[in-house]
A and B are shown apart, each in its own frame.
Chain A
């Protein structure tokens, strides 16, 4: 592990200044991505700036009926929060299905949004990887790509975005609040994750030194019966092969509102717009769900080992939609 130095900061302005002014400094939150990547030589900061003492860890109800999650709120605390559980079960479930209890006690919401891909070629310092070493190629495209993405890929990178929480936040249309040297700004989650395109090394529209201070989740009444379904190689402590976050409102037997996020199959937390369009106005029944799911996955680009993900994603979506519809009808 390469040596690095350490600075502890206690206010956001200093945190931003320290990192923005030094290209080789990096924020350290829970460390569950950062320490891991430094140890394996993929991240190489000269210094880490410990932001754990910053006063941005609260979980607060917003006056409009939404909730503000502090950038340093821990995954476990967000998942356990009564307001989150009641208003956004999809988020509580996504958080609790990620990583392990120990990791969730450490990991922060801000860090979760900024976590890096789990592609083994990205983590292996020697393989060709455009994300780690721009221009070197992508070893996964002709290599072992069973876990890789089928949506949002490019010829330069096909790595899956690993976050579960971000998939729920995509369906909820949350907003990321950033603080940088020039002040504060907000970025909708839908714009926060960049598809690889020609620049897979660039994953977010975030400048070096910009700090995630909070994530605002807007009021979404239909989210009270929302669902997160995660399918993986083992039952727990594993990343998704496919996952679906579903917010569904049913009126008089028809779908009145549908928001769907997909995980495990795309290079970004994927908003299933095509499926949503197909659903609104359709009868709330299996045939509509199947049609919508197929429509979403029509543009999938499978690689040598991951064609199964197309059908897996369809089935995951259908099952999540069925569950969400049953719950929505349960509350009338």
Chain B
């Protein structure tokens, strides 16, 4: 079988590889230093292995865009991108994200220029209290990339991992449609 490693190994582990009889290292249960790349910036942080990506971002790195709704995978408020794919920060251990770029809502804007999906959320009044919004935005960005914004039913299904207590759903769908249509127009005009 070919060895196919999709992500970097712990440095000490890479060193030990291939040596007969050596076991892979065990990190923790106490704090260990890990490096995370968040919104393009590499940062080191000390965490116990049990710390979720969500808690590492919010409590240790001051990246408070991702929200904690349920902490059990049921609401989507903690949605972030890891290696470009939308995942849940609350069920991801921070230590598993070494070497895998993480994007949060803070990473969407380009300086003061909001991301088109953020603009569309404002234009369409796609939130009320705003608690679910960072997760909705990350899911909407991913959904447009995934090409799942064909019609309203498809948008609803592929946004269903993000619960909105304020039920801003129709306006969220309108925002997604607007970005989808703007992009289609942009491509047609080229």
Contact = CB atoms under 8 A, between A and B. Distances in A.
Question: A and B: real partners?
Answer: yes
Interface in A19-77: 28, 30-32, 35-36, 38-40, 47-48, 50, 52-53, 55, 57, 76
Given A3-B50, A10-B3, A52 B87 contact: no
A208 interface: no
Interface residues of B, number: 49
A38 B73 CA distance: 13
Contacts of B163: 237
Nearest to B49: A6
Contacts of B93: 6, 28, 31, 35, 48
A8 B143 CA distance: 31
Contacts of A28: 93, 96
A102 B76 contact: yes
B103 interface: no
B154 to A, nearest CB: 11
Contacts of B2: 55
B27 A52 contact: no
Interface in B113-127: none
Nearest to A40: B72
A18 B24 contact: yes
A50 B96 contact: yes
Given A5-B29, A6-B28, A7-B27, A53 B48 contact: no
A101 B138 CA distance: 12
A30 B73 CA distance: 12
Nearest to A46: B29
A53 B24 contact: no
Interface residues of A, number: 40
B85 interface: yes
Given A4-B49, A102-B86, A106-B91, A14 B24 contact: yes
Contacts of B9: 8, 10, 53
A256 interface: no
A101 B50 contact: no
A100 B90 CA distance: 14
A9 interface: yes
Interface in B143-168: 143, 146, 148, 156-158, 160-163
A55 B50 contact: no
B160 A237 contact: yes
A4 B85 contact: no
A236 B26 contact: no
A11 interface: yes
A152 to B, nearest CB: 26
A321 to B, nearest CB: 24
Contacts of A40: 72
Interface string B41-53: 0000000111010
Interface in B5-56: 5-7, 9-10, 13, 17, 23-30, 48-50, 52
Contacts of A331: none
A260 B157 CA distance: 26
A5 B27 contact: yes
Nearest to B25: A7
Contacts of B49: 3-6, 48
Contacts of B71: 39
A101 B72 contact: no
User: Of A2, A4, A38, A105, which is in contact with the most chain B CB atoms at under 10 Å from its CB?
Assistant: A105
A4 to B, nearest CB: 6
A220 B25 CA distance: 44
Contacts of A31: 91-93, 96
Nearest to A21: B23
Contacts of A2: 50
A39 B52 CA distance: 10
Contacts of A4: 28-29, 49-50
A105 B25 contact: no
A10 B17 contact: yes
Contacts of B162: 100
A46 B142 CA distance: 35
Given A35-B91, A101-B86, A103-B73, A8 B160 contact: no
A6 B72 contact: no
Contacts of B158: 101
Given A14-B24, A36-B91, A99-B161, 18 more contacts: A2-B50, A3-B30, A6-B93, A8-B10, A8-B24, A9-B24, A14-B23, A18-B23, A28-B93, A31-B93, A39-B71, A52-B6, A100-B162, A101-B139, A101-B143, A101-B146, A103-B161, A106-B87
Please name the 5 residue pairs, one residue from A and one from B, whose CB atoms are nearest each other, closest first: A100-B161, A6-B49, A236-B160, A3-B29, A5-B28
